[in-house]
Structure 1
């Protein structure tokens, strides 16, 4: 049973990551901001390989920031 729950969470996170990448590509923001957002998504993707539940929480916060228009400044 636990395996089924993990598989469902993996599927949900994968779908939400795909949606987030699509949203970031569609944003009308400076390229530096888009790159910073993409880097954050890549970090979340990498984290999902080791801590799926943690990555799901990070992705939720990332999505909330996108919804609220809170973007990084794009500077390194």
Structure 2
């Protein structure tokens, strides 16, 4: 499976902020990396998030709750689901 990247999410964040307004920039690259890596989690060799919808939801939840960006975390979390 091809996974979403931090760079891809950051690109969409920048585009979304340019269109809708707000402050560009990342507050914590570690929190964004954690959101992406969490969607790849396994237990006993089995994906915890086995479908693309579950992976998208995991990333969205992490972005919305952990606020890796200065502004637009909810918008970025939702938009990454649309363009995963």
Q: Provide the TM-score with structure 2 as the length reference.
A: 0.39
Structure 1 or 2, whichever has the larger Rg, is 1
Structure with the higher fraction of residues in strand conformation = 2
